[in-house]
Structure 1
Amino acid sequence: MMDLGAKPKDQELAADAVRQFLCENPDFISADPALMTELGLKPQAANVVEFGPAALARVHEAHKRESKARKYLEATARANFAAQAQTHGAVVDLLDSRNHADLARRVDDLAQLRFGLAAGVVALEGPDRTPAGWRVLAEGQIDQVIGHQQVALMGFQPTALPLFGPRAGDIKSIAMVRMAVWEPARTGLLAFGSADPQGFTEDMGAELVAFLARVVERTAERWPVL
């Protein structure tokens, strides 16, 4: 009989070898009552093995884990689909903007009404004129807010709170993406603030926010800064 117990660690039996052995010796388990008991199996009629309570419990736990994982994937897929649908609707809203001030207002409206956030802000750097409704930032300030040469930031950033004006106290997490508007390009920023600390976290992707930033860029370039 093959010894499945004590063997040197460097000679442990591989899983495929175990499988091959059991296929070649189909009565190996059923002929060993002690092993049957240890595995939680119970012999029945010839060539039939019934799963005992221990084995059924293991199968049940495995099924629960699989079911939980499947539900999580399904919930994530539904959430992603809903977010994409809301983003597509937001794009239509942004494209309907009549001027820069209306564009900034629509960013804030879609943040609150479509995404359930606390605020949405469009900001622009530089000493030149800034469109009405946009936040004014000093040159180099975006590097201080989002990080030097960083394109996007998800999570909480205290230096970004002033962007949200009187609503800064409500902001617990932030999503920010750099923008480059007009030619020659001026550095801008699209920022969304959430009252939920878990609304935006560092492990989240910024793809949808970045997509909205590109839409804001292209829409803003319709009009000169007056």
Structure 2
Amino acid sequence: MTGPKDDATKNKAAAGPEDGLSPDQVATYLKSHPDFLSRNTELLREMTLPSRWQDGDGVVDMQHYILDQLRGEIDNLRTCAQEVIETSRHNMSNQTRTHAAILTLIGASDFENLSRLINDDLPPLLDLEMVTIGFEPADPPLPDLSFDDIQRLPQGTVEGLLGESDVRLIRDMTDDGILFGSGAGLIGSAAIARLRPGRAVPVGLLSLGSRGSTDFHPGQGTELIGFLARIVERFAHKWLEPDS
């Protein structure tokens, strides 16, 4: 005849060294380390969880809850990783396009040729609808700023659009033709960058326009746009102020 003590002894023997840890030991460990499964989620794939358990008067679908939570976390991680990859590719593409645009501008033979390259060659290179440059009135006037490819900006335009900033990104762009001329109606968003004045060259703007209303928007990086503007600015000073 055996009593409770003997039964306990048999149970312990059943969970001997060949079986590893006993259920009680596993349960005790998990209670002491509640984050163990969240740090080792791959183990849940190997486990058989109860689909339902009784909790007082209600029924808790524990297995589905845990699996849904894990699937959500995995999906979030995949989404974040994909966003990082896409952002890196986008940034690399923009950098490559900007470098190609600068190499094109280096080949300009004079300021008139520079302005044509900006208007005609830069849009496809930068995957944009339009790229223009414009200047406020010069004093004394500069004949080279009267080319058709140059936008004539009213006095105070640059200050009004940029304030103290050098670059501004505008979504849902509305232009009356000051920046993009007859193509203003095609532009949904834009990036505008200051062209700083020189000894004789007035302040101006480099304007990049896209059809998409959200292709340019506040929060995007502006380093490449600012760099491109500095290159255009240097060439403008080179051709319009050869003695400076």
Short-chain TM bin: 0.7 to 0.9
Among candidates 72, 87, 103, match of residue 61 of structure 1:
72
Aligned partner letter, 1:153: R
Q: Quick check: 1:222 aligned with 2:222?
A: no
Output the TM-score relative to the length of structure 1.
0.72
Alignment of 1:96-175 (within 5 A): 96-127=107-138, 128-129=141-142, 130=145, 132=147, 133-144=149-160, 146-156=161-171, 157-158=173-174, 161-175=177-191
Letter in 2 for 1:192: L
Q: Distance in 2 between matches of 1:200 and 1:126?
A: 28
| Structure 2 letter corresponding to 1:166 | S
Q: How does 1:80-91 map to 2 (within 5 A)?
A: 80-91=91-102
Aligned length in residues: 186
Computing the radius of gyration from Cα coordinates, the structure with the larger value is 2
Q: Using the alignment, how far apart are the partners of 2:126 and 2:154 within structure 1?
A: 29
Q: Distance in 2 between the 1:209 and 1:161 partners?
A: 21
Q: Tell me whether 1:192 sits opposite 2:208 in the alignment.
A: yes
Partner in structure 1 of residue 43 of structure 2? none
Corresponding residue number in structure 2 for 1:27: 27
**Partner SS, residue 27 of structure 1:** helix
**RMSD, aligned CA:** 2.7
Post-superposition offset of 1:131 = 5.3
Task: Name the counterpart of 1:50.
Answer: 47
What secondary structure is seen at the aligned counterpart in 2 of 1:193? strand
Cα 1:30–1:152 change in 2 (3 A) is closer
User: How much has 1:192 moved relative to structure 2?
Assistant: 0.7
Counterpart AA for 1:109:
D
Separation (CA, whole Å) in 2 of partners of 1:222 and 1:131:
17
Q: 1:27 to 1:111 in 2, by over 3 A?
A: same
How far the C-alpha of 1:219 sits from its partner, in A, is 1.5
- Give the 3-state SS of the residue equivalent to 1:208 in structure 2: helix
* Percent identity over paired residues: 23
Residues 137-190 of structure 1: CA deviation (Å, up to 9, x unaligned):
23212222x132232110145357422111011111110011114325621110
Partner AA of 1:50 in structure 2: M
Contact 1:179 1:188 in 2 (8 A): yes
CA distance in 2, matches of 1:80, 1:139: 35
Shift of 1:90: 0.8
Equivalent AA in structure 2 for residue 163 of structure 1: L
One-letter code of the match for 1:104? S
1:206 aligned residue: 222
Tell me the distance in 1 between the aligned counterparts of 2:108 and 2:233: 12
Matches within 5 A, 1:66-77: 66-77=77-88
TM-score, normalized by length of structure 2? 0.67
Note closer, same or farther for the CA distance 1:160–1:183 as it changes in structure 2 (3 Å cut): farther
- Aligned AA for 2:90? A
SS of equivalent to 1:88: helix
1:218 and 1:51 map into 2 onto residues whose CA distance is 69
More helix by share: 2
CA contact (8 A) 2:195 2:230 kept: yes
8 Å CA contact retained: 1:101, 1:134: no
